[in-house]
Structure formats: C-alpha cells, structure tokens
Chains A and B, each alone.
Chain A
Amino acid sequence: MLLAFGGNATAQDNPDFFEKKIRPLLVKHCLACHGSKKQESGLRLDTRKSAIKGGEVYGPAFSEKSPSDSKLLAVIRHEDDITMPPNKKLSASDIALFEQWLQQGAIWPDPVEQASGPSIAERWKTHWAASPPNKPRVPATSQKEEIHNPIDAFVMARLEAAGLTPSEPASPLAIIKRTYYTLIGLPPPIEQIRKFENEYVSDPKQAMVTLVDSLLASEHYGERWARHWMDIARYADTKGYVRLNEQTNFYHAWTYRDYLINAFNNDKPYDEFIREQLAADLMLDGPDNRSLAALGFLTLGRRFTGNQHDIIDDRIDVVTRGLLGITVTCARCHDHKFDPIPTSDYYALYGMFASTSEPSDLPQLTSGDKPKPFLGDLAEYDQKRSELDKQIVEYIPATLDMLRGDTTRYLQAVLRGRKEFLVPLPAAKGELRQTFVERWIEYLEGTQSNDHAVFLPWHLLRELPSDQFEQRSKQTVRQLSAKRRLKLNPIVLDTLSKSSLTSMNDVAIVYGKLLEDIHSQWQALVQDNVALTAFESEPKESLRQVLYGDDSPFAITPREALDAYLLDADWNMKLSKAYLDFDAWLASTGNEPAKAHVLYDSDRLHEPHVFIRGNPERTGERVARAAPSLLGKSLSEPFTQGSGRLELAEAIAHPDNPLTARVLVNRIWTHHFGQGLVDTTSNFGLRASAPSHPELLDYLAFRFSHEGWSIKTLHRWLLTSSVWQQSSNDRPDARQVDPENRLLWRTNRRRVDFETYRDSLLVTSGLLNRSIGGRSIPLDQSDNVRRTVYGFINRTSLPPVLLLFGFPTPDAHSDGRAKTTVPQQSLYMMNSKFLLDQAKAVSDRATRISGEGNSEDIAHALFQITLGRNPTETELAQVLEFIDSEDSAWHYVAHTLIQSNEFCFID
C-alpha cells in the first residue's frame, strides 16, 4: 500500500501532473503563508511529508493512507469552518485538479536532495562549543620577551601567524589605571601611582603581581564585579508592572546584591555560586541561611502583571542565556530555528519553574541566631502587626467560608473551562471569582493522576460523550460501585447512583451539594467543639479534605487571596491597603531584618506539556523536567528530586558541561579586554560568532573548571599577561591588517561606564562614602555619595542618566552594554547639578592640597587628583591663561578636567 503512494515507482508514473498542475497552484495560492518562510497554524505545504504531518491546529492536509479523505479539499471547496485561500476561492477547475490529484494518491515527488547541508543536530555535533573543552597544547613562538604566561603564547602565536607584532608595554601610569578600573572600578590614588611606577621600573612582573593581588584583596573588587553580574541577572529593586494592589518593590533585592559582593570578595568557586543561585534553599546545612539571598538570581525579574507564563519565561532566559549562553526561550513557541533546542527542552525547564512557588512571607536571613521580626522597638512592631492581623482574621476566614458554601456554582463554572482574557478584578458580593474557578480547575487536574477517592467518578464521567451521557453515566457509576478495590468514597458513589444524571452539570450539582452539606455539618460541629480536627467518619472526612485540606483550593495565604481578588471588593481594597501600608511602614523604618526573595519547591509538582505555539490553552506532548538536551544525554536525564533545580545546577556546574566554563571565561575576558574571545557573550550556539582564539578559550575554560572554578585566579592569569600590559595606541600598519584588533595587537581603549564615571568623580572630589553593602538608595538623592552599585533601580522608571550612558534596561538578561556616544551625555556632563557640585568639590580639594598655594600649585594639584599626573607646560599655560581671564574660577577648570577624554577613557 505504502509503495503505491510514496515509492518511486508510482511517482515516476505520473510525476508531471503534480509538477505541472498542482505545484504551481500551491506556489501561487498557499506557500506564502504555508511554506518554508511562514507556517500559519503550523501548516507547511511544500513537501508531501509536511502536508501529511499537517498543521498544529487542524491536523493533516490529507490522510497518508487515503489522500482523498482530505481536509485540504474541504477547505478549498469552502465546505469547512475555515476557508482557503482567505481572500478568494479557487476556480472550479483548479479545485477539480486538486480533487483529481488527491484521488490518484496525491503523488508528490520528493524534492531532489538539496544542497542544504547537514541538519542542525549534525552541525551541533561538530560545533566548537558542543563538547567539553580539552586542554590544548600551549604553542611555541619566537617571541620570548613577551611571554609571561600561556595566555601570551596563544595570543603571540596568532599575531605571528598574521605577520603582526604586539605593541610596546603601556606607561606604568596607564597600566595601573586600567588595572584599578578593571578590578575595582575606581581610579588609583596618586601615592599608589608613584609607588607602582617605581616598582614597575625595577621589576615589572613582580610589580604587576603585587598590584593585582592587592586589588583582588580590596572589598571594592566585589562591588565592581557584583555590578557586572547584576547586568546578567537583570537586577532591579522593583517588579515592573504588577497586579492591582500588588506591592511594586522588591524590598530585599539588596540582599542579593550584597550576596554577590561577598561571593566575589570571598572568591566563591563558580560552581558553588551557580548552585546557590539556582537552589540555595535545597543546600542549606545548619542554621546559617544567608545563602538564600542568592535566589534573587531567579526571583528579581519582571512580574508581567502577574502572568506566570511570562515570569517563568524570564527565569528560563536568565538561566540559559546567563549561565549557558544558549537562547532557549526561542523554543517557547517553536523549535529553535538555529540550535538543537526543541520546544520540549523549553517546557522541561518550564515544568521545573512551574513546580516552584514564592512564599508570601519572606525568610529572614540569619547566621544562626534566632530571627527577630523587627530590629527596632518591638512594641511598635507588635502593635502594627496586630492591626494587620485583626483585619486578616476579620476578612479571610469569612471569605473562604463564603466560597466553600458556593461550591456547586464553582464546579459548574469549572465545566465552562478557563477564561481567555483573564484579568482579575475586584468582585461584587456574590459574583463568581474566575480566579477561584482556575484554582478549582488546577486542583481537579491534580486529582487526575491517581485514583482519587472523591473525584475519580467525576473524571470518568467527564469523558463521556454528551449525547449518550444519561445512558452511559448510569453504567459508569454502576461499574465503579462494583470495584471495591478502588476504595472510592461511598457517599459520592451512593449519591451519584441515586441521582438522575443527564449531563455533567448534574454531576457538578451532586458534588457541589455534597460538599456544601459537609461544610455546613462541619461548621455546626466546630461551633460546639473548637478543638475538633476531623470527622469521625472516614468518608465524610475525605470529603472535608476537599474543602479544608492542605492541597485544597482553599489552602491559600491571605496575600494570595488578595492577589486573586477573592474577597468582596470593599474588603479586598481595605485588606490590600493594610498590607501595602504595613510593608511600606516596615521598609521606611529601616529596621526590617534582612530577608531573601526566595522560591521553594511546591508540594504539588508540575508535570509539563508542550504548549503549542506557546499557548497555554493548547497542550501538546508530555515532557519530563530536565536540563536542555544539547548538553548531552548524561547531563539531561529527567529530574528526580523535587522541581529539579539542584539537578539543573549540578548539570550546569559540571566540568563536562561544554558551555558553562567557556561562557564565564569569555565574560571575564570581555570585561577586561573590552571585547570577547567570542563576541556574542550570551550566545554560544551555532549562530555565535566564531572565537578569535579558540584554543585559548578552551585552555582557560579547562583550567578554570578543573582547578577549582576560582574567578580570582582567572583574573590573575589574565592581568599578569603581557597582552594586558600593551599600549593602546594606534599603529596604522597593524590596523591595516586587523582593524578590529581581534588578534590583540594592542589593548583596547575604552570609555568608562557610568558607574565608574560617577564613582571616580566621587573619589576625585573626596566625597565617596566607602562603606560596603546595605539597602539601596536613590541615585538622585542629593546626599547619596555611595558607590553607584547601591543605587535604587526602579525598572519602570530607570534614572534617565543611566539609560543615556548605556546602562542596560533590567527588563531582561543583558549580554553587554551598548557603546553609544550621544550629545545628551555631554549635556549631562556640562550641565547636571551632580557634575557642577563635583567640580566645585574637586577644586576645593585641589586648593586644600596645594596648601592654598599659587595658581601654578593649584593647577598641579588639580591635574594630579583628576588625571594622576602633572600638567605639561602647554597645559599649564592654557590653564593659567584661562584662570586669569574674566569671570573665571578654579571649579571651571576642574569641571573641564572631569569632562576630558583623558578622565573618561581608559588607555
């Protein structure tokens, strides 16, 4: 049979018919929307195979076994719900051609094997980032002088091969400046410059080792590198758009930032750093829980007005692009177009995150002491808290009882299904809460997997066709009643068998009344005996569990109830406000103990399905929770422990993971050298740019992941190389050969980022507050003289100055900062109050340092504290002329210097 249609024999019988008559029609009328470029409703009509596979929505275009049984035909004849082509019906003769073709077996010659090359999966096998890095041999080069360490050997070998030579070492001033900036993000003090200059002249190698070690030991190192990680982690202190009445701040985001600062300062091994950020809660050992703050990596993203699917998408993105350098979120709607990432990989991770939840009461961070609810006056706290509790007690139980008493109506609503445009809104007294209907739906889905004593009959009855319901429901109930071993709830079976069931609606009424009745009985009982915890009768108790159990739809925290608008509108407003006021009061006191924005594994784990085209209302194949399959079989086995977060972390932080170490090494390299060995820092997939020094990348990645994952060690390797110490000056001959400096014939000159600029100004003016850690403060607060990393980041209203200078919007993981020069930046430097204030402070400081000396002394002091050097004769003459002119002042000169390219660029 199969041969008759697909085999070559028949195809040769009449291949011309298809090519001459049918293909032109497909090309003309169908392929624009159902071809290789576009597949509306998932349907492709450019090969026989894809036509038989059919679309995601309407199934095969025709049946493989009997092509004349054809959806396609019904659609083009306009006999179906959908009619195609959309604008104009085909002519009768064209339709007749399709009929004829389909009746004759839809002969469709296979396309001649096209030179399209190997498949994605095959290409991935040979991709440079697909297998774990090995340790390449360090190349030999003729340059001896410049080889401080293996990094130099790799770079020099490539330069040599291109006929290039490295640049001369930069001046000691340039070297100490760039090393300070890159490691701690602050300029060197003048005394350190002098000291280094002397040491460097006598022993450059030792001088570098000493310099790098001292900077790595500085607490400011952690501040600088935490900020880099915050770009990756799309850090913000606010949630973006939230539901009506939801708190907009992450009041404790700063604990994640401080976790990062400490992690870098303590050189926490990178594998441990990964595990903690994904699963610190699952690794706690002992009473010290401070590592919980690490979970901010997952939780501090946007909240998308409460849309769970988008929240999960954001988390998948930050994990996969941030840690693995692959773009998994492309597979939310379709298989990745360029990398071997099918939708099943996306939903494997989706299932992991959907199996977690965030507690409404955040855990307090402690090194082991007993947590205190409040660091200030406890009496004040207790009073505020009791006001809130009083309201909770007043509204929440009454609301839940109201909902229990309304179970019939909710079960009836369950039958109508989820609602397409669900926006939870305050509800009137007596109005159905659609959010609670959704809770019921979820609860009932959870009772599907086992033979649930109460709801197994419900699920079986729901499968019956509606036109035969009455007759077959009787049969079903009878059969169930006979199966004793199922241990079904006798009250349910008994009531069902006594009722006349004409549709599921009747079943909903039976269940509803039963449960409402149990609710009233229980209410009456506990009224007499408050201490009662269960019905004596087992069947009654199992019914009661549906309404009162720990996994019942009614097991909801007050905050969750508010977010779902379960309370009557006026109560909801009052209680929401009470919560917001309480939170705001707590934050305003500054006495709230440090807490962590955590998430935990849920009791009920989510068994994921693929959502077809990303639409949660259309579920496709079932998938297991697991790490992405491209990591290889052993690293992507289905998770077995809870949500699987710790297993994911282990798979990511595994030395055999081909991506993790390469991605991290490349990120660190990029920060130091201004461009990556791989340009696409968060995309190491098949469309990544090829590494400029593949062996060097592998060498570093191998040693990094096999020698303790120490980031500080990595810095030492990079910064004691002679490559790092090259001059950044232009060499037209070398530029001719390698205009992009991919081969590193010099060091890249770079403009400082905004944080470094602002922090450097504060160092120069002497105003910087150097304390480490603590709550975030607004950047535009006039007395804020802390480092920029402590600025409060409001993701919906980022300070405009940050955006101007290329600070990445914390909407999503950032793979690097845009380097743009726009005049508004200059306006900020010329005119902003902050700059003018700093200029004044800088000139005051210079005047002080010069001992109120003459103009020449002040000019010297100014150049020293801003640029770390003395003015040249020409510069001095220019400054003196300027200061002698009309309406001039020293802070104008200071202002000039802190706007100058020498101040803003790192050679």
Chain B
Amino acid sequence: MISHKYNPILSRRQMLASCGVGMGMVGLQPLLAESTSSSYSSKQPHHKPVAKHVIHIFLNGGLSHIDTFDPKPLLDKYNGKPLPIENLETERATGNAYASPFKFRKHGESGIEVSEIFPHTAANIDDICVIRSAYADVPNHEPSFLLWNCGEARLPRPSMGSWVTYGLGTENQNLPGFVALCPQGLPTQGVENWRSSFLPGAFQGVHVDTQFSEVEKLIENIKNGQFDDRSQRKQLDLLAAFNRRHLEQRGFDPALEAQIQSFELAYRMQTEAAEAFNLSDEPQYIHDMYGDTVQSKTMLTARRLVERGVRFVQVWYSGGQPWDNHDNINIHATLAKNIDQGIGALIRDLKQRGLLEETLILCGGEFGRTPTVELPRPVLNAGKQLGRDHNHYGFSVWMAGGGIKGGTVYGSTDETGWKAEENPVHVHDIHATMLHQLGFNHERFTYRHAGRDFRLTDVHGHVIHDILN
C-alpha cells in the first residue's frame, strides 16, 4: 500500500517517514503541505480503531497451558500411565501422562478455571478472554519466537510492534513509539524480536533492561556526562542559530528542518524519558498493588509508558527462555509468583484509569507444553522426570482490554491437552485480530519491499470475531 522509498510522487507518508519521526512529526512539520495539527496523525486506519495501545506480555520459553489456563482432568486419571492416544512428535521424546501438580479453581462470575499459580491474574478473569486453542507451526523456540513476534518463523520480517508503530505512529513525540521491556538480558533471538527489518529503522523497538532504575542505563545517550542542562540549552540555542541561517540560505528543505526539530525533541526526551521510567513518584499503594519483583515492577513501567502515549509495549519475562521447564514443571510456580501480582495489578490499574478499553493486552508464551512427561536426556535434563517438552499443537494465550470480550473462553484442546480441537487459532489469527482492534484490515495493511507487498500476516490470518465486544 505504501511504498516508502520508491513512490514516484513523494507521498505524505513517505515525507514523514523520511523526514520526520514517524507520524508523530506531523504537528512539527509546518512546511509540509498536508500537515495537520493532530498528533494522532496516523495513516488513515481502515476502520475506527477500538484499541490505541498494545501491551504484549511474552512468557518466553513456553508457558504450560495444562498447568495454568487449560485444566485436563483426564491427565489425573492416566497419571504415570500411557495416554490412550499416541504421543505427538515434539522436539524431544516424552513418555507417560503427567498430571498437573497444581490445583485449578473457578474464578469470577464467568467461573473460568485457572490454576493456583496465577491467583492475581485469575482475580481479573472476567476481563480476560482465554484462548485455549492456540497453535503454532513447530516445536522449536527460535522459529516460534519469530513467528509470534514477526509473523514469520525464519526469514527476516518486521516485528508486530514495528508494524503497529509504522501504521499508527506515536502519540508522544518525546518517547519511542515501540518499547521492549526486558529485565535481565535479552530473550532468545534477541533484538530480532523487535526488529524493523525492511520498515524504516525508526520503527524498531527500543530495548530497555528494566532491572536498572537509572535512566542512562535504560536509554542510550539519554544523559550528557559533561554539561549541565543550562550549558546544553545554551549550546543547542547556538546550534539552532547556525542551522536556521544554513536553512535560510538554501531555501526549502524538509530534511534540514526535520534535523533541526530532532534536536529539540531529543532535548525534551531527556527529561520526559527520565520521568517516564522513574517509578519512585508512584504512590505507595500503587507499589503495594504491583509488588516488588522486577517482573511486577516492569508491569508498572508498562502502564506508565502506555499512559504517556507509547504505542506498543512488549514486556518480556527476562532474558533467555525461563519458562522452558523441561526438567521440572514445578518451576512454573516460582516464575508465576514473580509476575502474577504485576499482571493482576496492571489489569486493575488500567481499568481504574479508564485505559483498559483502549489498551489491548496479549499474554502467552511461544507455545505450550506436552501433557506427557519429558524423558531424560544426557547433558540437557539432569536425569529428572518432572518436566514437559514443547507443544505447538495446542496451547493457551489470553487477551484482555482493547475491545476483547472478557470472562470468556474461546476454543479448546482435546481432552488430553495435546492438540487444539475446537476453533483452532493460529498465531496469524491473533495478529489479524490485534490489527483489527487497532483499526487495520490485516489483508490491506501492507508495505512494498523487494518487489512485492508484505503483510504481518503474510497470506494467512482470520480475525476472531467471536471474542470481540
């Protein structure tokens, strides 16, 4: 739909992409013919958006659906014995049925069952739609991370956050439009998860390690180690004077103008970003609500960013793939404990601020885990038999806010938990649904590159209308 570099007529969008800060520059481009005063200023959405922001909570490593959002009583019956159906092929060999060590209980008015390791999330279940029939393509981490984040398992494609920021621009010109929050190091596949690929680099996610609290460790070059603010302002004034005269001598040039504006933005960003990431000005009751683990605090940061107009916030659990519990599924309890309170608080907090309706939350891992126990393998799992292998055939993810019908369960796996059975939902379908809520028809939301139009959903994807309000 949009040809960035190649359109023979300089489109408004192209002008913005090449000269401005994505869409957010519009209000600052008085020289552009079509400039408007609106800072929303997105590309025209295909229909009225319901959601304006996305928070994607990625439980990297593979959340076991059987132990969290998809109870399987049949496994109790067969525990320790072979299942009545043959085990599916996954990455490693698995053996007998393995019942969840965790108890499930009904929650909320909807009475949806959630396991005991996610009590705070469960307390908000009436705002959540649990999709119990998600599936992906392969049982391997790397391609599945990329499938979730970029819509394609292996070839380099832009991430969904980049697509969304490309489409909607940013609401706050002083903050990046797409932020990937990841405490304690990079997840598997690292920066590829939030790359812009062939979209302009401005739409790439900005990665922030939230284990730190000092802003200079969060955003590169956000502070100047030498001058104080007054000196810097004085210097920027001198720079602006030089640049203005330079521009006057040369006449009209949006690129020179954009560069001038860019320094002013950067200057403001220094204060604004510092403020956005500074949790200490939150009242105590908010801190109490979220809890004090790094994962929960990251949820609070996510809320602050969304509140300040950041378009797409991705929250990673931590570096690597911590949910990958091949050896011992009991570790899930500890992992959940670190983030559950934060998730519960995030939903409640957004709701009480009136932001939940316009913020789409998506939470899940890259795939689920097997209902059968993983057999031990040298070097890799220390001889234990308490864990589960990867399972891409069927698993659970959940969505909330942003016009999603809360208190609902959509689809199901078979009674063993192996495979999506009723209303299977592919990753592409989730992407299509997300774009739909943001105002885009995923089949028409394209970018011309290397001779063809690319989509986040490639040639796939169906909007799941049944889960929308």
Point out residues on A near B: beta carbons under 8 Å: 38, 241, 304-305, 307, 310, 313, 321, 326-327, 330, 337-339, 419-421, 423, 425-429, 568-570, 573, 679-680, 682-683, 685, 687-689, 728-732, 735, 739-740, 742, 749, 751, 796-798, 800-801, 803-806, 809, 811-812, 815-816, 818-833, 836, 874-875, 878-879, 882, 885, 887-888, 892-893, 895-897, 899-902, 904-905, 907
Contacts and interface: CB of A to CB of B under 8 A. Distances in A.
The number of chain B residues touching the other chain, given as a range, is 35 or more
Contact of A241 (B142, B236, B377): B142
A900 B239 contact: yes
Given A241-B189, A740-B10, A896-B235, A330 B250 contact: no
B246 interface: yes
A537 B29 CA distance: 87
A820 B17 contact: yes
Given A831-B223, A900-B243, A900-B246, A811 B452 contact: no
B83 to A, nearest CB: 20
Contacts of B263: 823, 826, 829-830, 899
Among B10, B154, B221, the most chain A Cβ lie within 10 Å of the Cβ of B221
Contacts of A833: 225
B90 A421 contact: yes
Nearest to B92: A425
Contacts of B6: 679-680, 689
Given A241-B142, A826-B265, A735 B252 contact: yes
A819 B4 CA distance: 10
A729 B247 CA distance: 10
A901 B257 CA distance: 10
Contacts of A875: 242, 245
Interface of chain B, helix or strand or loop or mixed?
loop
Contacts of B247: 901
Given A730-B253, A797-B191, A821-B19, A827 B8 contact: no
Given A420-B89, A822-B21, 17 more contacts: A421-B89, A680-B451, A687-B451, A687-B452, A729-B249, A739-B10, A796-B192, A801-B220, A806-B201, A820-B18, A827-B222, A827-B269, A828-B221, A831-B222, A882-B238, A901-B242, A902-B246
The 9 closest A-B pairs by CB, nearest first: A730-B251, A826-B266, A811-B156, A569-B378, A823-B265, A683-B451, A823-B266, A327-B451, A818-B200
Contacts of A732: 251-252
A254 B303 CA distance: 45
B172 to A, nearest CB: 11
A426 B380 contact: yes
A596 B225 CA distance: 43
Interface string B201-223: 11010100000000000011111
Interface stretch (B41-49, B226-234, B429-437): B226-234
A689 B378 contact: no
B20 interface: yes
B192 A749 contact: no
Contacts of A740: 8-10
B378 to A, nearest CB: 4
A108 B388 CA distance: 54
Contact of B200 (A327, A820, A827, A888): A820
A907 B250 contact: yes
A800 B191 CA distance: 10
Given A689-B6, A811-B156, A421 B139 contact: yes
14 contacts: A327-B452, A337-B452, A425-B92, A729-B251, A730-B253, A732-B251, A820-B17, A821-B21, A821-B258, A823-B263, A824-B206, A826-B263, A901-B242, A904-B259
Interface of B: 4-6, 8-10, 17-22, 89-92, 138-140, 142, 154-156, 173-174, 176, 186, 189-192, 195, 197, 200-202, 204, 206, 219-228, 230-232, 234-236, 238-239, 241-243, 245-247, 249-253, 255-256, 258-260, 262-263, 265-267, 269-270, 377-380, 450-452, 459
Contacts of A822: 21-22, 201-202, 262
Contact of A327 (B221, B234, B380, B450): B450
A800 B208 CA distance: 12
A708 to B, nearest CB: 31
Contact of B221 (A730, A830, A874): A830
Contacts of B459: 38
B446 to A, nearest CB: 13
A321 B450 contact: yes
B238 A878 contact: yes
A830 B224 contact: yes
A742 B9 CA distance: 10
A38 B443 CA distance: 11
B428 to A, nearest CB: 13
A43 to B, nearest CB: 14
Nearest to A740: B10
A882 B8 contact: no
Contacts of A885: 234
Contact of B89 (A326, A419, A569, A796): A419
